Structure 1
Amino acid sequence: MKIETLTGEVASVPEAGLGALRTERGNLPLDSVDVQAAVTGLSARITMTQGFQNPFDVPLEATYVFPLPDRAAVTGMRMEAADRVVEGVLKERGQAREDYEAALAAGQRAALAEEDRPDVFTMSVGNILPGERVTVRLTLSQPLPYEDDEATLRFPLVVAPRYIPGTPLDGPSVGAGTGADTDAVPDASRISPPVLLPGFPNPVRLTLSVDVDPAGLPLDGVRSSLHTVTTDGRTFRLEPGERLDRDFVLRLRYDAGASCAVAGETFTVTVLPPPGPAAPRPRDVVILLDRSGSMMGWKMVAARRAAARIVDTLRSGQNGGDRFAVLSFDHAIERALPGGLSAATDRNRYRTVEHLARLDARGGTELLRPLEEAVALLSGSAERDRIIVLVTDGQVGNEDQILGRLSLDGLRVHTIGIDRAVNAGFLGRLAAAGAGRCELVESEDRLDEVMDHVHRRIASPAVTGVSLDMPSAVPGTLAPARPGDLFPGVPLVVRGRCTGPGPVTLRGVAADGSPWEQRLEPVTTDDPAATAIWARAHLRELEDRYLAGDGDPQRETERIVDASLRYGVLCRFTAFVAVDTRVAADGAPAHKVIQPVEPPSGWEATPADALSTASTRSVRSAPGGYGAPPAPAGYGVPAAPGAYGGAPVPAAAPQPPGGPVPGAAPGGPTRGFAPARTRMPRQSSPTAAAVDARAQVAEELRRLRAARPASELERRQILADLGSRLEVLVPGALTDLVAALRSCDDPAGPRGRDLDELWDRTLRELASYEEEGEKDRRPFWHRRPR
């Protein structure tokens, strides 16, 4: 490949891909990622090291959006540069951000680690000097999920593009990504990093190793499903040259049993279900199949096979037979059979499998509506097992909105995630909310194995209504708060805080209706990760409660922050910040860059409507569903300026030091190496205008409250004048109120009691408008999706 340099010379770069440029010091700020994991029994301690290099001639601020295991507890951060080592401090998120910005303004090196989703994090490293290298180390602990005699260590390595629904918000973006912030995803710009063009030379050196200590459990075998690993006994290493484009998955085959382990003030109860199959009960099953554009290729094939396998396992019969419905969705919903739930007859199952075989990928992932429709379909069958099975890659940005709106009482939700970079955090949270199971499929080879597991999961549980009785347990600390049901082959794990060892009794109802009980005697262990793993699970329970709108938001926020700081575990309301006291630069960094990520492995070139975003949604174009608006160009296809939810690119946008950005699509920064968005001055942004308007409305409200003239004529004049001012101050808002106020100019306008009611209504609506403004000014991590 030949490329033209800034001097007009043409140089050949054989290994470069489409759109790739080379600089003398390299292409991108992130040059290495090293992951060192130590597995002990059913938990892991992990150190992740990110290396940043400044290839420019001015100080740099680098931003990297990256994934971590959704159940992992981040417990420490360290920044190293030259001969300086700075330990990170966990603080309330707003305070941590202030400290970070103040350090950059003073010319100090600083690093900031924030959580944007349970499995999506942002690392910002500022004032990296020209040619300098800075490393940031994160330490974390995580439990290993254990099912069907196998524990799984899954370490995600790329944040895949996610569908962003909703209406775009006014004002500057809260992040530097390519997605537009919306009312459904207020932080979309923080979870949508730019994506490298296919063929771009491997920009990051990846090393990963796992040391395995069975801790007394019989280890029968270890296997990796997506990467080739080498081993020298109990240490497993990734081969050199791998890219950050898919999850690392290592499975360890153990034999385990029921136990209660107490480490300090933390306990972990693990219990296996009783042997033998559960007695079958009639079921109502709704299968939701994601056919959006991100499911293209092998994922769509696997999803169709998975749904068909579930349909084939349904039982027919005049009395006690199963009923089902299959809903495929993208921006619209399509039913395999007309009407509601259908009997699982041979004919209906055959017609459904035929329908599934014709489905292909298209459109955007509007997930909330099909989930709500599935809940409605199952609302009238309380005497039967009510089950939702969701087959998807989970690549949506409005996870919080979905979990906050759904009511899953009495329903069981199983999720099947199909992707090599699956959104496991969301699918796990959804399955937990529905007392179901989450299964992940990273390749077609694993599909049959997973479907065998799913068949057991959608069968009747072995024990229902499990409760835990432990006198020494601290109330309100169980995670999960509702233990759920016991399924064949799936151990139940409950964690909590306790005042000391004590007997544990688990109770429930067996499949035959008889009482079920199991007693455990605690065993004291020395597990340093136990408290951190419990704290992370506890914080997730509190965060989900906050998003669901339960309780007072201020009080819930304080409770989450207190727990995070007390146990030293990162959450959405806290952040790790490391500040070097030495001054390294003259003020804030002159250049800002957001690190682009790899296209996820297994994702094919995306068609025009595959990853539709909210930035262009304006009409409905499909009967019965939301229309699929234009979407970003596919991988390798130039994106138009402003595509993928990004702001339009100025015609004369300045180039960063060192020349044009490498790896970017010709149309703008939506693919490849994108400069971070410039923060607009407050007075010139739409948000600033809105803030000023709200301030003036607040002043109008203050004056209106101050005096209520006795004269009816004076009140009519005041309200009429107020209506004319509001029409200019808040165009398009308070329209009904403005019309009512302007009617006071009319001789036939409101009088007497009607005028009194209009005065009181004006006070109420202006107060409500002012209160909404206070909500809009809250930090983005406090905003709940609408």
Structure 2
Amino acid sequence: MFNPNLFLNSLPNGFGVLEIAQREEMGPYFVPLVKTEVSGEITGPLARLQTTQHYHFSSQTWSNAIEAVYRFPLSGDVAVIGATVTFGGVRIQAMLTTRKEAEARYRAAKEAGKQAALTTREAPDVFTLQVTGIRPDEDVRVEIQTVQLARAHGLDWSLRIPLTTAPRYVREDEGATGSVQGQPLALLRDPGHRFALSLRLYGAEEFSSPTHELAVKTEKEPAAAGVQIELAGGQVVPDRDFVLRWQPQRAAKTPTLSLQAHVDRTDDAVYLLAAIAPPEEKPAATPAREVILLVDHSGSMHGPKWQAADWAIAAFLREMTPADSFALACFHNTVEWYGQAVQPADAAHVQATVAWLKEQKESGGTNLGAALEQALDLPPAVGAATRHVFIVTDAQVTDAGRILRLAEDAIAGPTPRRISVLCIDAAPNDALTNEIVRRSGGIARYLTSDPQEEDITTALEEVLHAWAQPVLTNLRLAVDREMVTGSRRQASGPDGWAALDAGDLPAGQSIWLTARAPRADASAVTARLLAADDAVLAEAAVDLTRAPDHPALAALYGAARLNTLEYVARAQFQIADLVTELRKLGVNVQGLERPQRDKLYGENQLLAAAEMMNDLLAREALHYGLPSSATAFVAIREEAGNPISHTVPVANAVPHGWQLSRPGPSPAITQYAPSSPMLESQGRPLPQAGFMPMPAGGGFSGPSSPPRYTQIYCGVPRPEDGRALLYANALDVREVTLKGLRAARTGGDDPGDQAALLLYVSDLIEARARIRLRELLRQGERPLNVAVPAGAAVQLVLETADRRPWEGKLTIELAW
């Protein structure tokens, strides 16, 4: 039979498929989930949210009680602090217990015909909800309470709420780790359920969403009461992450270090949240850099994501100075390197590397871990002040445990390398991406692949350009205690001070850290921001006798700690190495150590590690009151009910922009069978479920044909006040997608770094794409991925930095 847990996101050269013929007229899909609504409030960087899933179906659709199973996403760094279930008018508070006990209680309730719900954690960012006893014409609500920390996005803040779960590439040697349970049960273009939003945002000067159109609910309340934010369309298909960005209210000068604290007297501990902001002035000189670039050429990156990544990497290499050094690899089924060593970023090396990159057309699976391990094995460049590995990927993999071991190793040696990730997808593997950068002190950035939202190449260029110049390097956060653990790895500190690694601080980018330290009967706690030479850059203190309670800080710390332990459990350590790793994390390993020899076979190694870690995970999770792979929420209604007739899986939406199937009316992509015997349909036919078979000819799209170009301008531009209109027209009566831009110039001087082509679509105020002319002339051709509605106005404007007359003839071609 087909293995539902394996997903190979490579481009097939051709394969046979089995098509199940469908009747011409089929009824509506049976989808018991009506909608998911996220509500709550955001104060400062802290979000207190409630995710409510509404289940309902009519007796005309199905006449018997059912069980619904939904594998849904939550942010990987979220702390789930509670869950309730309402059957009709009966509200039940879910209880957190060990997963084994919760599953046993749920199974017994299901067999007895009682109504019950079970919430289990399959991966740090993927949960499974099972609700049994949903009756026709009865409303069932499942409410999950969470706290989440916003992330710094430059000097702004952002909140990401994942709405769908994408298939992830599974290596053959990852099948026994448990990571594969994070796959979706089924995927549909339209899964039949919707997403709604209701958030109150406090203390924001401006806010926006790059992913969804927002509506502001007007209320007769003072500004201090915040602003109520909803979706402009009311409800939408949950096929991409929801992202909210806002500008917090700031003082005249941004502080360098701020500190919040929460005292937990039962633990005799203090929990900290530290915010580090860059200085207003940038350094005059940029330190010499070593950069290793890893570019994802797997099947899930096919199309505009691939083209944009290659273009932006080429532009990034050309911005490096001869004092810098670099290496470049493309990864898919294999890892292909240009050269086998870090090399100087002189013009000859850069030109040869860019030419090699353009020739790399092979594709396959996402072997990110193998590529990262090879990158970290490269000998370091001599004299580099800062060393980074930059990964451009969608991160749809399951071997997170081993990848995070590499991230830990990268920063721990005598020549540490930080790992930063640029994640390109509408529904990225957010949990893995942020865990990589958290452990290695790097930076995470996200871009969508939607041509209607942004030109991905423009956005990618801007991100890489911002990364190019760190303001401060190798920072540490020190606390006046003998011991501190937190969201970053431990580092050395001055006498009497414990420290955490804070990484590099780029221009316009803040960093937040969570930490836990002993209270030590002290009335205050002090933190310092230290440079590599122990110089004190900033200091902040909190009076613990007057500090307000912030229990969310303890929950956030607990969630980060559980994530670390979950990944350690799946990192394929030998037992002795596993114990050593736990000690480094400050875990009391007494009772865990057992006299065992190293296992020679991988499956036995994984089983021994899982046995050791399960009790530890349960102990830690119950202490912080949070779900984990070893704990679960269960709620049972004690009144007798009717046995269910069927189990119905709820589909996830295919992430927007994924090229998984041929265009056509069928919404279906793939189906994943249940991964647990509890999800089986007891041998009886399922009602018409929310998924259908893949149509014949489906699967990954093959390479598209080369775009056809049309000349839109040829002549000598005449800028006025630094701008010249080169093209203005409505392209067509039908919707099109702009695929590429070409430029050539005869005569004239270098246009300079400030000259750019601005592409406007519909909105003639804000450009959809900004293309640096020097780089376009250098490379000759640039990919675009810009959707143009039918009859929309399109303009191309040349922008120059000065008012000198333009010299030389310029030729522009556009492809759509």
Match runs of 1:410-449 below 5 Å? 410-443=416-449, 444-445=454-455, 448=458
- Unaligned runs of 5+ residues in structure 1 are 1-16, 168-180, 608-632, 648-652, 672-786
Match runs of 1:31-46 below 5 Å? 31-46=34-49
- Equivalence for 1:716: none
User: C-alpha displacement at 1:63, in angstroms?
Assistant: 1.1
Query: Which residue identity is paired with 1:665?
Result: M
- Equivalence for 2:184: 192
Cα distance in structure 2, aligned partners of 1:95 and 1:153: 34
Cα distance in structure 2, aligned partners of 1:560 and 1:203: 36
Cα distance in structure 2, aligned partners of 1:149 and 1:23: 51
Picking from 549, 552, 563, the partner of 1:540 is: 563
Query: Which residue identity is paired with 1:572?
Result: S
- Tell me, yes or no, if structure 1 residue 209 matches structure 2 residue 198: yes
User: C-alpha displacement at 1:27, in angstroms?
Assistant: 2.0
Query: Which residue identity is paired with 1:485?
Result: G
Cα distance in structure 2, aligned partners of 1:230 and 1:638: 31
User: C-alpha displacement at 1:251, in angstroms?
Assistant: 0.4
Cα distance in structure 2, aligned partners of 1:61 and 1:73: 27
Picking from 633, 656, 675, the partner of 1:601 is: 656
Picking from 677, 682, 693, the partner of 1:664 is: 693
- Tell me, yes or no, if structure 1 residue 310 matches structure 2 residue 324: no
- TM-score w.r.t. the length of structure 1 is 0.69
Match runs of 1:529-568 below 5 Å? 529-548=552-571, 549=573, 550-551=578-579, 552=592, 557-568=614-625
Picking from 459, 466, 471, the partner of 2:476 is: 466
- Tell me, yes or no, if structure 1 residue 28 matches structure 2 residue 31: yes
Query: Which residue identity is paired with 2:185?
Result: P
**For the Cα contact (< 8 Å) 1:365–1:396, is it kept in 2?**
yes
Match runs of 1:328-339 below 5 Å? 328-335=330-337, 337-339=338-340
Which 10-residue stretch deviates more, 519-528 or 355-364? 355-364
- Equivalence for 1:371: 372
User: C-alpha displacement at 1:424, in angstroms?
Assistant: 0.9
- Equivalence for 1:388: 389
In structure 2, relative to structure 1, the CA distance for the partners of 1:600 and 1:308 (3 Å cut) is same
Query: Which residue identity is paired with 1:311?
Result: L
In structure 2, relative to structure 1, the CA distance for the partners of 1:125 and 1:40 (3 Å cut) is same
**For the Cα contact (< 8 Å) 1:294–1:606, is it kept in 2?**
no
Which protein is richer in strand relative to its size? 2
In structure 2, relative to structure 1, the CA distance for the partners of 1:595 and 1:220 (3 Å cut) is same
User: C-alpha displacement at 1:334, in angstroms?
Assistant: 2.3
In structure 2, relative to structure 1, the CA distance for the partners of 1:638 and 1:36 (3 Å cut) is closer
Query: Which residue identity is paired with 2:348?
Result: R
In structure 2, relative to structure 1, the CA distance for the partners of 1:383 and 1:592 (3 Å cut) is same
Query: Which residue identity is paired with 2:175?
Result: T
- Tell me, yes or no, if structure 1 residue 242 matches structure 2 residue 239: no
**For the Cα contact (< 8 Å) 2:324–2:384, is it kept in 1?**
no
Q: SS at the partner of 2:101?
A: helix
Cα distance in structure 1, aligned partners of 2:463 and 2:618: 38
Cα distance in structure 2, aligned partners of 1:381 and 1:123: 52
- Unaligned runs of 5+ residues in structure 2 are 1-20, 219-226, 265-270, 491-499, 580-591, 593-608, 677-681, 701-816
Query: Which residue identity is paired with 1:70?
Result: G
Picking from 573, 591, 598, the partner of 2:630 is: 573
Q: SS at the partner of 2:140?
A: strand
- Equivalence for 1:484: 502
User: C-alpha displacement at 1:460, in angstroms?
Assistant: 4.7
**For the Cα contact (< 8 Å) 1:307–1:391, is it kept in 2?**
no
- Equivalence for 1:293: 299
User: C-alpha displacement at 1:392, in angstroms?
Assistant: 0.2
Cα distance in structure 2, aligned partners of 1:297 and 1:434: 30
- Tell me, yes or no, if structure 1 residue 48 matches structure 2 residue 60: no
Cα distance in structure 2, aligned partners of 1:485 and 1:37: 32
Superposed CA deviations along residues 502-525 of structure 1, whole A, max 9, x for unmatched, are 141325226xx5723422121623
**For the Cα contact (< 8 Å) 1:296–1:360, is it kept in 2?**
no
Q: SS at the partner of 1:466?
A: strand
In structure 2, relative to structure 1, the CA distance for the partners of 1:501 and 1:453 (3 Å cut) is farther
- Equivalence for 1:774: none
User: C-alpha displacement at 1:47, in angstroms?
Assistant: 0.6
Cα distance in structure 2, aligned partners of 1:80 and 1:638: 32
In structure 2, relative to structure 1, the CA distance for the partners of 1:20 and 1:129 (3 Å cut) is farther
Match runs of 1:666-745 below 5 Å? none
User: C-alpha displacement at 1:431, in angstroms?
Assistant: 1.5
User: C-alpha displacement at 1:604, in angstroms?
Assistant: 1.9
Q: SS at the partner of 2:201?
A: strand
User: C-alpha displacement at 1:376, in angstroms?
Assistant: 1.3
Cα distance in structure 2, aligned partners of 1:668 and 1:584: 45
Q: SS at the partner of 2:110?
A: helix
- Equivalence for 2:402: 401
Q: SS at the partner of 2:291?
A: strand
Superposed CA deviations along residues 107-137 of structure 1, whole A, max 9, x for unmatched, are 1111111112211111111122344432211
Cα distance in structure 2, aligned partners of 1:133 and 1:251: 34
Match runs of 1:757-768 below 5 Å? none
In structure 2, relative to structure 1, the CA distance for the partners of 1:639 and 1:426 (3 Å cut) is closer
Query: Which residue identity is paired with 1:351?
Result: A
**For the Cα contact (< 8 Å) 1:78–1:138, is it kept in 2?**
yes
Which 10-residue stretch deviates more, 557-566 or 35-44? 557-566
Q: SS at the partner of 1:522?
A: strand
**For the Cα contact (< 8 Å) 1:64–1:594, is it kept in 2?**
yes
In structure 2, relative to structure 1, the CA distance for the partners of 1:521 and 1:122 (3 Å cut) is same
**For the Cα contact (< 8 Å) 1:23–1:658, is it kept in 2?**
no
In structure 2, relative to structure 1, the CA distance for the partners of 1:306 and 1:425 (3 Å cut) is farther
In structure 2, relative to structure 1, the CA distance for the partners of 1:241 and 1:116 (3 Å cut) is same
In structure 2, relative to structure 1, the CA distance for the partners of 1:83 and 1:507 (3 Å cut) is closer
**For the Cα contact (< 8 Å) 1:154–1:249, is it kept in 2?**
yes
**For the Cα contact (< 8 Å) 1:283–1:385, is it kept in 2?**
yes
In structure 2, relative to structure 1, the CA distance for the partners of 1:251 and 1:477 (3 Å cut) is closer
Query: Which residue identity is paired with 1:583?
Result: A
- Equivalence for 1:282: 288
Q: SS at the partner of 1:240?
A: coil
Cα distance in structure 2, aligned partners of 1:186 and 1:19: 38
User: C-alpha displacement at 1:282, in angstroms?
Assistant: 2.7
**For the Cα contact (< 8 Å) 1:259–1:522, is it kept in 2?**
no
User: C-alpha displacement at 1:570, in angstroms?
Assistant: 1.9
In structure 2, relative to structure 1, the CA distance for the partners of 1:636 and 1:150 (3 Å cut) is same
**For the Cα contact (< 8 Å) 1:261–1:525, is it kept in 2?**
no
In structure 2, relative to structure 1, the CA distance for the partners of 1:114 and 1:646 (3 Å cut) is closer
**For the Cα contact (< 8 Å) 2:94–2:634, is it kept in 1?**
yes
- TM-score w.r.t. the length of structure 2 is 0.66
Aligned length: 592
Which 10-residue stretch deviates more, 268-277 or 362-371? 268-277
Cα distance in structure 2, aligned partners of 1:245 and 1:637: 13
Cα distance in structure 1, aligned partners of 2:697 and 2:80: 35
What percentage of residue pairs aligned between the two structures are identical? 25
Which 10-residue stretch deviates more, 362-371 or 149-158? 362-371
Picking from 130, 139, 143, the partner of 1:133 is: 139
Which 10-residue stretch deviates more, 536-545 or 421-430? 536-545
Q: CA RMSD in A?
A: 3.5
Cα distance in structure 2, aligned partners of 1:296 and 1:634: 19
Q: SS at the partner of 2:657?
A: coil
Which 10-residue stretch deviates more, 114-123 or 411-420? 114-123
**For the Cα contact (< 8 Å) 1:56–1:657, is it kept in 2?**
no
- Tell me, yes or no, if structure 1 residue 505 matches structure 2 residue 527: yes
- Equivalence for 1:745: none
- Equivalence for 1:252: 246
In structure 2, relative to structure 1, the CA distance for the partners of 1:20 and 1:558 (3 Å cut) is farther
